[in-house]
């Protein structure tokens, strides 16, 4: 067996046999699922709370405007004074009292509406009350102007712009949301992977230094081989852990959904909310059809290949930097000053991905950042579902691979000098010097 | 070719700092070669160059007549001064891993490990983790791993640090036996008594230059002062001392003796022989003690460093 595979095998086996690794692997998905289930449960609890709202309308403008819903009951009060109404509502422990005072015209009335409640009312409730009242007052005003409301209602049109690129690719709002989810998940996965397993590589390099075994090892193995072996072995352990997480997570999610009858889909994440809004107008059958079509229209093969390439490239790029940091220092507390320059571009990539790519996937900012090697893996993975020309992907990959090779060379230099340096925390200046040794 | 290892004016700089300046040494086959020098002299750099951990800026290294190549690591066993083992790995697994890195097959490595574990009476440690062992115990395992692949050249950097006297002796005997079986040993240490005991060749490195090398016995001859330590019993000591002073260079000596001797260090001139001194002494007094002052490795070390 050659040295590289021996090192990979050892790194992999010691990682997955490690007790804390095993505990983390089994416990993490359980904790995650438990948290998700808890949040889902709490959300449901909140949604299910029944509210009764009393309405004292002295203007007579909003009679029968509010209709009871599943969670909210509206009670109309009449012929009582405001103070009495307040007392009644409070004693009945109702959610609140909406008071609409009388005025000389609609404008006057609309400025004298008050909501009384024990605690500060929910903002969403106030907003919904406001928008319902605004619509009603608008209709009233139109009536005053002698406009026939039924005619206006008849002229309302429902517009849904369907989108199509010049090449004939159809898309829609739902499609865009799906692309965001795909790209976001890929980018975020890479980000997490780099942070978790990059650190693990760094720790394992430091461990060899502190246990003083390093000189024994590198009298048999070239430092570059040792470094690559560590990176690959740890990554394989990471992939194993991820797969186990997905399997356990999937099983747990299914079990909990069935046993506790909690509908995970009711959890409101921003994307789902967006998705629900865009789908509100569609019939159920149409929804499934649209999602299916959108899924098929995603550039699946391109997505998979790009994911693999950018994932490997980006991950290796960062993990070689982590390995170099591990080699340069003596213990974990000394790593802080070197971590910043690594974390900055990574976090920047995620921010650019989240804020810019959503806004404009092919804008200047997103395009530029999808070429810069330290940010390209995350940003490009987020852009690709929206369709990126192959030549752009090619250039980005080439830049990434070029930089990766440069980084490995650079990291290997630091590594081979750093692993034999004990006792002091090096400065950046010294590390640059090491490159010449 | 009688030299197993030859370094030919090997130099290494780290930035502005010269760690090694044109160091040439020749290690004869079957010898125990002491590589000596104060801290920071460049010993470890030279050893790392021999192990291909550090690449020299200039100069070349030959092992058994061939220029040093990657595959030669299988012929070298190296016990570094800064040494340790993976803390959370089991003793046996770890030893197997390190043996395989030296190019041994798993089955062969297992067989030889068992032999060595039994020999050093640590057979029941196989499944223990290093963190459960004491420092001395871990050192034994490091020693086994160093010699396991039967290398032609063994390099020990401070091999006895961390050992209790009993285990240090055990290891010393093993080193001697390995040499008897044909291995060549490079031995780097500050402990002059073990140099005295073990080495037949030495090289002294000081401030990145080699300043002395050769057979230990030759070097000692070179540094011989022709001084003899003498213990005399006489009735008239002052008179004897006076007579000696006329003929030889004398100074007071200090050693343990049973009687109330006159203790002197007497240096003879090149044209005089020890017999001249002895016959002169016997004619004047009773000689209780007569011993040539042979320079110790320690003396040579300190003297050479001071002179440079």
CATH of the domain at A88: 3.40.190.10
Indicate whether A30 and A57 sit together in one domain.
no
Indicate whether A13 and A62 sit together in one domain.
no
Q: What is the pLDDT of residue A291?
A: 67
Q: What single DSSP character describes residue B129?
A: B
The class level of CATH for B226-292 reads alpha beta
Q: What is the pLDDT of residue B79?
A: 92
Nearest CA in chain B to A9: B97
Return the beta strands (E) in B120-194 as ranges.
153-157, 184-188
> Is B203 a residue whose pLDDT tops 80?
yes
Q: Which residues of B touch A226 (CB under 8 A)?
A: none
Query: Mean pLDDT throughout B109-124?
Result: 90
Indicate whether A369 and A394 sit together in one domain.
yes
Residue-wise pLDDT tens digits, A373-392: 888 888 888 888 887 888 88
Asked if B82's CB is within 8 angstroms of A215's CB, the reply is: yes
Q: What is the pLDDT of residue B10?
A: 92
Tally of domains within chain A = 2
> Considering the domain boundaries, does residue A426 fall inside one?
yes
> B87, B101, B108, B154: which to substitute to probe chain A, counting the most A Cβ within 10 Å?
B101
- Burial environment of residue A60 by CB neighbours within 10 A (0 to 12, 13 to 18, 19 or more): exposed
Confidence grade of residue A237 (pLDDT, cut at 50, 70, 90): very high
Indicate whether A29 and A66 sit together in one domain.
no
At B21, list the tokens: 């300046």
Q: Which residues of B touch A220 (CB under 8 A)?
A: 73, 98, 101-102
Asked if B142's CB is within 8 angstroms of A215's CB, the reply is: no
Helices marked H in A18-160: 19-48, 82-91, 106-110, 123-144, 149-155
CB pairs under 8 A between A and B: 61
B100: contact with A, CB 8 A cutoff: yes
Indicate whether A74 and A124 sit together in one domain.
yes
Residue-wise pLDDT tens digits, B248-306: 888 888 888 887 788 888 888 888 888 988 888 888 888 888 998 888 888 888 888 88
Task: Quote the pTM value.
Answer: 0.74
Asked if B15's CB is within 8 angstroms of A436's CB, the reply is: yes
Query: Mean pLDDT throughout B224-242?
Result: 86
Nearest CA in chain A to B14: A437
Query: Mean pLDDT throughout B46-74?
Result: 90
The class level of CATH for B3-87+147-221 reads alpha beta
What is the complex's ipTM, to 2 decimals? 0.80
Indicate whether A225 and A344 sit together in one domain.
yes
Measure CA A89 to chain center.
42
At B294, list the tokens: 């042979």
Query: Mean pLDDT throughout A32-51?
Result: 77
Tell me which residue range forms the domain holding A402: 3-34+171-434
> Considering the domain boundaries, does residue A165 fall inside one?
no
Distance CA B52, CA A215 (A): 11
> Is B97 a residue whose pLDDT tops 90?
yes
Q: What is the pLDDT of residue A282?
A: 52
> Is B158 a residue whose pLDDT tops 70?
yes
> Considering the domain boundaries, does residue A342 fall inside one?
yes
Biggest CA–CA distance in chain B, Å, is: 78
A304 vs B110, higher pLDDT: B110
**Strand A170-171 and strand A163-164: pairing?**
antiparallel
* Count of residues in chain A: 437
Confidence grade of residue A65 (pLDDT, cut at 50, 70, 90): confident
> Considering the domain boundaries, does residue A162 fall inside one?
no
Greatest mean pLDDT among A150-164, A348-362, B164-178: B164-178
Indicate whether A17 and A70 sit together in one domain.
no
**Among A116-120, A184-188, A356-360, B26-30, where is mean pLDDT lowest?**
A356-360
Query: Mean pLDDT throughout A410-417?
Result: 84
> Is A22 a residue whose pLDDT tops 70?
yes
> Is B174 a residue whose pLDDT tops 80?
yes
Distance CA B53, CA A416 (A): 8
Q: What is the pLDDT of residue B308?
A: 77
- Judge whether A199 and A322 are in contact, CB under 8 Å: yes
Nearest CA-CA distance, residue A209 and chain B, Å: 9
CA distances in angstroms from A16 to A189, A193, A238, listed in the order given? 21, 16, 9
Residue-wise pLDDT tens digits, A284-313: 556 666 666 666 666 778 888 888 888 888
Confidence grade of residue A423 (pLDDT, cut at 50, 70, 90): low
> Considering the domain boundaries, does residue A73 fall inside one?
yes
Q: What is the pLDDT of residue A270?
A: 46
Q: Please report, rounded to a whole number, the percentage of residues in chain A having pLDDT higher than 90.
A: 6
> Is B245 a residue whose pLDDT tops 90?
no
Put simply, the chain B residues between 11 and 50 with a CB less than 8 A from any chain A CB are 14-15, 48
Query: Mean pLDDT throughout A248-261?
Result: 76
Indicate whether A202 and A289 sit together in one domain.
yes
CA distances in angstroms from B285 to B230, B260, B279, listed in the order given? 11, 13, 10
Asked if B53's CB is within 8 angstroms of A216's CB, the reply is: no
Asked if B87's CB is within 8 angstroms of A212's CB, the reply is: no
Indicate whether A30 and A55 sit together in one domain.
no
Nearest CA in chain A to B72: A220
Q: Which of B51, B70, B85 faces A213 most closely, judged by CB atoms?
A: B85
Q: Which of A211, A220, A437 faces B102 most closely, judged by CB atoms?
A: A220
Asked if A216's CB is within 8 angstroms of B142's CB, the reply is: yes
Indicate whether A317 and A408 sit together in one domain.
yes
Query: Mean pLDDT throughout A332-359?
Result: 84
Query: Mean pLDDT throughout B36-53?
Result: 89
Q: Which residues of B touch A10 (CB under 8 A)?
A: 97
Indicate whether A57 and A11 sit together in one domain.
no
Q: Which residues of A touch B78 (CB under 8 A)?
A: 215-216, 219
Let me know if the fold of B3-87+147-221 is the same as that of B226-292: no
Distance CA A186, CA A383 (A): 10
Q: So where are chain B's domains?
A: 3-87+147-221, 226-292
> Considering the domain boundaries, does residue A112 fall inside one?
yes
Q: Taking an 8 Å Cβ-Cβ cutoff, which residues of chain A contact chain B? A: 1, 3, 6, 10, 14, 18, 207-208, 211-213, 215-222, 420, 422, 433, 436-437
Nearest CA-CA distance, residue A433 and chain B, Å: 7
Asked if A18's CB is within 8 angstroms of B88's CB, the reply is: yes
> Considering the domain boundaries, does residue A135 fall inside one?
yes
Confidence grade of residue B201 (pLDDT, cut at 50, 70, 90): very high
Indicate whether A292 and A346 sit together in one domain.
yes
Residue-wise pLDDT tens digits, B8-28: 999 998 878 888 999 999 999
Asked if A212's CB is within 8 angstroms of B83's CB, the reply is: yes
């Amino acid at each position: 067996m050659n040295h590289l595979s021996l090192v990979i095998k050892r790194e992999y086996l010691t990682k997955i046999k490690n007790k804390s690794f095993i505990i983390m692997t089994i416990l993490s998905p359980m904790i995650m699922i438990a948290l998700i289930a808890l949040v889902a449960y709490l959300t449901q609890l909140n949604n299910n709370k029944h509210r009764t709202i009393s309405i004292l309308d002295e203007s007579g403008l909003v009679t029968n405007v509010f209709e009871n819903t599943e969670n909210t009951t509206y009670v109309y009060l009449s012929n009582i004074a405001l103070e009495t109404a307040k007392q009644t509502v409070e004693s009945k422990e109702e959610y609140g009292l909406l008071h609409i005072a009388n005025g000389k015209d609609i404008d006057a009335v609309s400025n004298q509406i008050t909501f009384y409640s024990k605690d500060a009312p929910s903002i969403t409730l106030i907003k919904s009350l406001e928008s319902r009242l605004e619509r009603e007052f608008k209709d009233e005003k139109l009536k005053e102007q002698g406009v026939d409301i039924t005619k206006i209602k008849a002229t309302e049109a429902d517009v849904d712009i369907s989108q199509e690129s010049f090449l004939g690719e159809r898309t829609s709002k739902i499609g865009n949301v799906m692309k965001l989810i795909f790209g976001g998940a890929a980018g975020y996965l890479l980000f997490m992977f780099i942070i978790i397993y990059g650190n693990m590589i760094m720790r394992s390099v430091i461990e060899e230094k502190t246990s003083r075994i390093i000189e024994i090892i590198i009298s048999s193995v070239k430092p570059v081989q040792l470094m690559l072996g560590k990176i690959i072995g740890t990554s394989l352990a990471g992939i194993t852990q991820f797969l186990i997480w997905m399997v356990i997570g999937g099983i747990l999610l299914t079990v909990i959904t069935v046993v506790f009858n909690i509908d995970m889909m009711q959890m409101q994440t921003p994307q789902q909310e967006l998705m629900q809004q865009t789908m509100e107008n569609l019939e159920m059958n149409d929804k499934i059809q649209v999602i299916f079509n959108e899924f098929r229209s995603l550039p699946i093969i391109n997505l998979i290949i790009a994911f693999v390439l950018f994932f490997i490239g980006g991950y290796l790029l960062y993990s070689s930097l982590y390995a170099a940091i591990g080699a340069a220092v003596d213990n974990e507390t000394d790593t802080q000053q070197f971590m910043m320059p690594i974390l900055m571009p990574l976090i920047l990539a995620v921010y650019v991905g989240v804020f810019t790519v959503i806004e404009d996937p092919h804008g200047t900012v997103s395009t530029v950042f999808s070429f810069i090697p330290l940010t390209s893996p995350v940003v490009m993975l987020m852009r690709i579902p929206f369709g990126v020309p192959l030549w752009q992907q090619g250039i980005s990959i080439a830049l990434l691979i070029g930089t990766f090779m440069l980084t490995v060379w650079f990291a290997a230099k630091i590594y081979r000098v750093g692993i034999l340096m004990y006792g002091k925390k090096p400065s950046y200046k010294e590390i640059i010097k090491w490159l010449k040794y | 070719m009688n030299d197993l290892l030859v370094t030919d004016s090997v130099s290494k700089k780290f930035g502005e700092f010269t760690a090694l300046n044109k160091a040439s040494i020749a290690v004869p086959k079957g010898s125990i070669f002491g590589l000596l020098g104060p801290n920071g002299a460049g010993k470890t750099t030279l050893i790392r160059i021999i192990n291909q951990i550090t690449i020299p800026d200039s100069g070349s290294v030959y092992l058994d007549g061939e220029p040093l190549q990657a595959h030669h690591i299988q012929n070298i066993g190296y016990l570094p001064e800064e040494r340790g083992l993976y803390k959370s790995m089991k003793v046996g697994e770890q030893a197997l891993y390190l043996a395989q890195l030296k190019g041994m097959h798993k089955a062969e490595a297992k067989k030889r490990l068992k032999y060595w574990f039994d020999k050093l009476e640590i057979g029941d440690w196989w499944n223990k983790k290093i963190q459960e062992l004491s420092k001395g115990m871990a050192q034994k395992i490091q020693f086994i791993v160093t010699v396991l692949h039967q290398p032609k050249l063994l390099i020990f950097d401070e091999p006895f640090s961390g050992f209790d006297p009993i285990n240090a002796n055990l290891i010393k005997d093993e080193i001697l036996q390995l040499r008897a079986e044909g291995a060549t040993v490079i031995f780097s240490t500050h402990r002059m008594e073990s140099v005295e005991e073990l080495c037949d060749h030495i090289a002294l490195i000081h401030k990145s230059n080699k300043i002395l090398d050769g057979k230990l016995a030759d070097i000692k001859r070179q540094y011989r002062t022709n001084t003899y330590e003498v213990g005399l019993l006489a009735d008239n000591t002052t008179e004897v001392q006076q007579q000696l002073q006329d003929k030889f260079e004398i100074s007071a000596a200090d050693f343990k003796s049973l009687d109330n001797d006159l203790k002197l260090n007497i240096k003879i001139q090149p044209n005089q022989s020890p017999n001249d001194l002895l016959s002169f002494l016997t004619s004047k007094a009773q000689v209780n003690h007569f011993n040539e002052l042979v320079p110790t490795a320690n003396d040579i070390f300190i003297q050479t460093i001071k002179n440079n």
